[in-house]
C-alpha cells in the first residue's frame, strides 16, 4: 500500500492542468467537501488550511469570545488550547478518565462556571470520549460542543461515527494523520447558520460565500459588480488550496483502506502485550471503535527499568523510536510564564486556574508513563518486525 497513490496524483494533475484558471473555481474543494459530508454523516463540510484554523473558526462562529471559558483536556496537542486563546477565550482544563485517557465528564461538570460557553472533547489517539455524558452536560448548561477529532477518522461511538455527535467537529489532514494532504483540515456540522458563519470566518468575511460544498469563493459574476459589497464580517484567509484538496479527496476515497491498516497494526501490538502486567493499553469501552492514530500504552512504574530504558531496548532490538505523550498543555512554558492574565490578548483576560502541578492529577500521573507506538506502517511485514521487537523487549524486561 502507498501513502500517496495514483489516485491522488491523478487529482493533482487535474488541478495543474486547469492552470489555476478562475473559471475552474474550487472544483476539488467542492468534491472533497461533498465526499467528507457523506462519509461523516453531516450536512456541511468546510475545508480549511489546517486543523487549528478549524477549531478557531468554529469557536468564533459559535459566538465564543473574550472572557468566555472553554473546557479542554490537558492531554493532547496544545493546538486545542491555543485555538481557544486565538478566539480570545480562556482555556479551562478538566482532568481525564484513568482508563480511557479521554476527558472525564465528571471533571467537566466540576469546572463549569457562569462564564463557561463551550467544551472541546478530544478523541485522543483515535478513541472517542463519553459523548453521551458530555452532550447531556452541554444540554443542561447550554454549552457548545466542538469535537476535536484530529486523531480519529472512522472511529465509532455506540453505532455513530465520531464527528457526527457534537454541534461541530474538527479534523486535521496534517502529515501524521489518517488522511494527509501535507496540511489541511475540515469542519463538519449539520447546523446551517453555524456552517455559514464558519465559512465566512475562514473566507475573509465575504458575504457571498455560504455553507454548501465549494462555497468558499465568490463567483466572477458577483465580484465584477461595481456595487458589490464584499465583506460583511471580519474573517481570516483560512481556505484550503486546491492542490491540498486534490490530495485530500484521493485520501478520503481511500479512507477505509488507510484506517484498516492502522487497526491491523494495533491488533498486532495488542497481541504482543497480552499477559504483560506492567504494560497497559488504552481501555476501549463496549460500543466504541478505536481508529488508532497511534497505539498508546501505559508503562507501570518498575524499580528495575524506566521509560527511557524500555525505549532504548526496543530500538536496539529493531523497533522504531517511541514517542512520548505531549507535556500537559498547562505545564508548557507558555502557560507557566503566565501569572494572572494573558497580556498578549486584547483586552487582557484573567486566569481562572493556577497552571501548576495538582490541577489535573490523573493526567499528571499518566503522562510520564505513556508510550506511543507508530501505526502508520504501509507494509504489514514491516509492522510485524516492529511488533516482534516489542515482544522481545517485553521478554527482556520480564526475565
Instruction: Assess contact for 350 and 340: CB atoms under 8 A.
Output: yes
Integer-rounded Cα radius of gyration of the chain: 22
Q: Give the chain's end-to-end CA distance (angstroms, integer).
A: 38
The cell for 34 is 461533498
* DSSP letter assigned to residue 369: G
Instruction: Assess contact for 259 and 178: CB atoms under 8 A.
Output: yes
The cell for 248 is 485530500
DSSP 136-152: HHHHHHT-EEEEE-TT-
- Strand partners for 144: 118
Could you tell me which of 58, 88, 39, 16 has the C-alpha nearest to residue 258?
Answer: 39
**SS3 state at 111:** helix
> What sign for the dihedral angle of Cα 106, 111, 113, 115?
negative
With the CA atoms of 143, 148, 154 and 160 taken in that order, what torsion angle do they form, in degrees rounded to the nearest 10? -10
The cell for 294 is 497511534
β-bridge pairing 294-299 and 185-189: unpaired
Place of cell 481525564: 96
β-bridge pairing 168-172 and 185-189: antiparallel
Could you tell me which of 53, 43, 59 has the C-alpha nearest to residue 91?
Answer: 59
Instruction: Assess contact for 157 and 131: CB atoms under 8 A.
Output: yes
Could you tell me which of 179, 128, 188 has the C-alpha nearest to residue 155?
Answer: 128
Identify whether 43 is a catalytic site residue: no
269 phi/psi in degrees, rounded to 5:
-60, -45
Catalytic annotation, pick one of 30, 117, 177, 215: 177
**SS3 state at 317:** coil
- Strand partners for 47: 186
CA neighbours within 13 Å on the CB side: how many for 33? 28
Residues annotated as catalytic are 177
Amino acid at each position: 500500500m502507498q501513502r500517496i497513490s495514483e489516485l491522488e496524483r491523478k487529482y493533482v494533475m487535474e488541478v495543474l492542468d486547469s492552470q489555476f484558471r478562475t473559471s475552474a473555481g474550487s472544483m476539488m474543494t467542492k468534491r472533497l467537501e461533498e465526499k467528507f459530508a457523506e462519509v461523516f454523516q453531516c450536512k456541511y463540510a468546510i475545508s480549511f488550511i489546517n486543523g487549528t484554523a478549524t477549531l478557531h473558526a468554529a469557536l468564533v462562529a459559535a459566538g465564543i469570545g473574550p472572557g468566555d471559558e472553554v473546557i479542554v483536556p490537558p492531554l493532547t496537542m496544545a493546538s486545542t488550547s491555543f485555538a481557544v486563546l486565538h478566539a480570545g477565550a480562556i482555556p479551562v482544563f478538566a482532568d481525564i478518565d484513568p482508563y480511557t485517557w479521554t476527558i472525564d465528564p465528571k471533571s467537566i461538570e466540576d469546572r463549569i462556571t457562569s462564564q463557561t460557553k463551550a467544551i472541546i472533547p478530544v478523541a485522543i489517539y483515535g478513541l472517542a470520549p463519553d459523548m453521551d455524558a458530555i452532550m447531556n452536560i452541554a444540554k443542561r448548561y447550554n454549552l457548545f460542543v466542538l469535537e476535536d477529532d484530529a486523531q480519529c477518522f472512522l472511529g465509532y461511538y455506540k453505532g455513530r461515527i465520531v464527528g457526527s455527535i457534537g454541534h461541530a467537529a474538527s479534523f486535521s489532514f496534517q502529515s501524521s494523520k489518517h488522511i494527509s494532504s501535507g496540511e489541511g483540515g475540515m469542519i463538519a456540522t449539520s447546523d446551517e447558520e453555524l456552517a455559514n458563519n464558519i465559512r465566512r470566518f475562514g473566507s475573509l468575511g465575504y458575504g457571498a460565500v455560504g455553507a454548501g460544498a465549494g462555497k468558499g469563493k465568490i463567483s466572477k459574476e458577483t465580484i465584477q459588480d461595481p456595487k458589490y459589497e464584499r465583506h460583511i464580517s471580519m474573517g481570516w484567509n483560512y481556505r484550503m488550496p486546491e492542490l491540498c484538496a486534490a490530495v485530500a479527496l484521493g485520501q478520503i476515497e481511500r479512507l477505509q483502506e488507510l484506517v484498516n491498516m492502522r487497526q491491523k497494526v494495533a491488533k498486532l501490538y495488542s497481541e504482543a502485550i497480552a499477559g504483560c502486567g506492567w504494560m497497559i493499553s488504552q481501555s476501549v469501552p463496549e460500543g466504541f471503535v478505536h481508529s488508532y492514530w497511534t497505539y498508546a500504552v501505559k508503562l507501570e512504574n518498575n524499580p528495575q527499568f524506566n521509560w527511557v530504558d524500555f525505549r532504548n531496548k526496543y530500538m536496539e532490538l529493531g523497533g522504531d523510536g517511541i514517542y512520548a505523550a505531549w507535556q500537559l498543555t498547562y505545564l508548557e512554558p507558555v502557560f507557566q510564564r503566565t501569572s494572572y492574565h494573558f497580556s498578549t490578548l486584547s483586552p487582557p483576560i484573567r486566569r481562572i486556574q493556577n497552571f501548576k502541578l495538582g490541577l489535573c492529577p490523573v493526567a499528571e500521573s499518566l503522562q510520564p508513563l505513556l508510550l506511543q507506538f507508530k501505526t502508520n506502517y504501509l507494509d504489514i511485514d514491516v509492522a510485524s518486525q516492529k511488533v516482534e521487537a516489542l515482544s522481545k523487549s517485553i521478554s527482556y524486561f520480564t526475565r
